[in-house]
C-alpha cells in the first residue's frame, strides 16, 4: 500500500536564543528521521520526554518545516505554513493534544468548538452542521446535552473526547495524537484508546500515536518507532519490537513495562543521566547509559540498519543481539 504520509531524512534544529544578540547551542530536536504511515494503520512513537516525539509529530503535520529532508502527504510536498493552501490542507490532517483543557477556548461551548473546523473550511449548511455535531458527539461517546457546556464543566476524559470530535469534524485522513491520554486516569485511558481503535477501523484513518507510555502504544500501534535524542534507534512491526526488542535502549524501555505472566526479558534499569539534547554524546548517543557498550560505540555513530526480519535498528551489536533474542 502506498503510504499516506512519508518523511524522508527529516531534521529539525532549534537555536535557543538568549537575549537579542546571544546565540545558544543548537538543539537537533529531530535528526534524520524517516517514517511512513499508510491509511488505516497506526505508527507509535515512543521515547523519553525531550527526545523529539512532539517535534516529529509537528513536522509530520507540516506545522513546522524541516531544516532538511522532505515530508510528503499523498505523494506531494506540503504547502508552507501560514499560506492559504496550507490552511486548506489542515482539513485533511489533525492534531490531538495532551492537554485538552489547554487546547480548547474556555469561553466557547463544546458545540461551537466542535463545529469550528466546519466553519473555518466552509463545509455544510447550518442544518447539516447541526446533524454533523450530533453524529460526531455520538461517535466519540459524548452525551448530546454536553454540547452546550463549557470546557471547564467537563471531566478530563470528556474534554479529550470533545477535542477528538473537533479533530474528526472534517473527516481527516491523518491524525497525530501527541500523548493524548497521558493526562488522564488509567481507567479512562483504555476507553479513549479503544475508541480511537474503533474510529480508525470505521474510517480508515492513518494515525501517529505519540507516547512515553509503552503499554498504551502497544495497545494501538501496528508499527512502532523508538526515539532517542532525536533519532530513531529501532523501528518495526509493533508485535516484533515489543516481543523481542533488539536495541539496548528499546530493551530497557520494554523491560520496564509491567506485564502479566512470565517475563521474557529481565528488567533492565537505565543507568546514567537522562539525555541532554544540547550535549549529544559522541559516537552512539546512548553509549553512556548502555550496559553493552563497546569501545567502538564511543566514537562511531551506528547507522539504522535493516535486520533479517525487516526491522531497523541503529546499534553496532544489533546482529548478535538479534540472534540472542530469537
State the residues that interact with ligand ADP by CB under 6 A: 14, 16, 27, 29, 47, 49-55, 277
CA–CA separation, 105 vs 113, rounded Å? 8
Residue closer to another protein by CB (options 99, 139) is 99
Taking CB under 8 A as the criterion, the residue among 42, 45, 59, 97 binding another protein is 97
Residue closer to another protein by CB (options 21, 187) is 21
- Supply the minimum distance, in Å, between the C-beta of residue 93 and Mg ion: 18
Asked if residues 40 and 105 have their Cβ atoms less than 8 Å apart, the reply is no
- Within 162-201, the residues that bind another protein by CB under 8 A are 163, 166
Residue closer to another protein by CB (options 96, 219) is 96
Asked if residues 57 and 178 have their Cβ atoms less than 8 Å apart, the reply is yes
> Cell triple for residue 231?
533519532
Residue closer to ligand ADP by CB (options 61, 168) is 61
Does residue 211 bind Mg ion (CB under 5 A)?
A: no
Beta strands in 74-166 (DSSP E): 76-77, 93-96
- Supply the minimum distance, in Å, between the C-beta of residue 178 and Mg ion: 6
> Whose CA is closest to 254, among 209, 244, 262, 219?
244
Residue closer to another protein by CB (options 165, 238) is 165
| Beta bridge partner(s), residue 44 | 209, 224
CA–CA separation, 268 vs 251, rounded Å? 7
- Supply the minimum distance, in Å, between the C-beta of residue 197 and another protein: 23
Does residue 15 bind another protein (CB under 8 A)?
A: no
Q: Which residues of 30-44 are buried (b: 16+ CB within 10 A; e: fewer)?
A: bbebbbbbbbbbbbb
> Whose CA is closest to 152, among 107, 191, 182?
107
Does residue 54 bind Mg ion (CB under 5 A)?
A: yes
Does residue 89 bind another protein (CB under 8 A)?
A: yes
- Within 25-84, the residues that bind another protein by CB under 8 A are 61, 63
Partner touching 183 among ligand ADP, Mg ion, another protein, none, CB below 5 to 8 Å by kind? none
DSSP assignment letter at 300: -
Amino acid at each position: 500500500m502506498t503510504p499516506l504520509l512519508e518523511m524522508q531524512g527529516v531534521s529539525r534544529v532549534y537555536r535557543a536564543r538568549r537575549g537579542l544578540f546571544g546565540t545558544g547551542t543548537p538543539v537537533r530536536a529531530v535528526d534524520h528521521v524517516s517514517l511512513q504511515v499508510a491509511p488505516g494503520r497506526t505508527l507509535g512513537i515512543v521515547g523519553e520526554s525531550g527526545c523529539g516525539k512532539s517535534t516529529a509529530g509537528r513536522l509530520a503535520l507540516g506545522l513546522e518545516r524541516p531544516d532538511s529532508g522532505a515530508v510528503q502527504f499523498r505523494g506531494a510536498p506540503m504547502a508552507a505554513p501560514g499560506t492559504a493552501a496550507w490552511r486548506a490542507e489542515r482539513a485533511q490532517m489533525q492534531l490531538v493534544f495532551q492537554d485538552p483543557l489547554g487546547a480548547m477556548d474556555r469561553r466557547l461551548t463544546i458545540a461551537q468548538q466542535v463545529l469550528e473546523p466546519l466553519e473555518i473550511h466552509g463545509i455544510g449548511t447550518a442544518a447539516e452542521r447541526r446533524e454533523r455535531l450530533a453524529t460526531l458527539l455520538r461517535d466519540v461517546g459524548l452525551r448530546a446535552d454536553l454540547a452546550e457546556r463549557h470546557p471547564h464543566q467537563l471531566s478530563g476524559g470528556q474534554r479529550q473526547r470533545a477535542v477528538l470530535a473537533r479533530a474528526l469534524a472534517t473527516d481527516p485522513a491523518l491524525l497525530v495524537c501527541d500523548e493524548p491520554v497521558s493526562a488522564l486516569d488509567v481507567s479512562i485511558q483504555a476507553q479513549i484508546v479503544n475508541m480511537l481503535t474503533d474510529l480508525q477501523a470505521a474510517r480508515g484513518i492513518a494515525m501517529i500515536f505519540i507516547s512515553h507510555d509503552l503499554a498504551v502504544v502497544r495497545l494501538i500501534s501496528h508499527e512502532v518507532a523508538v526515539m532517542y535524542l532525536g533519532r530513531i534507534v529501532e523501528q518495526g512491526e509493533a508485535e516484533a519490537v515489543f516481543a523481542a526488542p533488539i536495541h539496548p535502549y528499546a530493551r530497557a524501555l520494554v523491560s520496564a513495562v509491567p506485564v502479566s505472566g512470565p517475563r521474557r526479558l529481565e528488567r533492565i534499569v537505565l543507568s546514567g543521566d537522562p539525555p541532554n539534547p544540547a550535549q549529544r554524546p559522541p559516537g552512539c548517543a546512548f553509549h553512556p547509559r548502555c550496559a553493552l557498550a563497546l569501545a567502538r560505540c564511543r566514537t562511531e555513530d551506528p547507522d539504522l540498519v535493516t535486520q533479517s526480519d525487516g526491522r531497523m535498528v541503529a546499534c553496532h551489536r544489533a546482529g548478535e543481539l538479534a540472534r540472542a533474542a530469537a
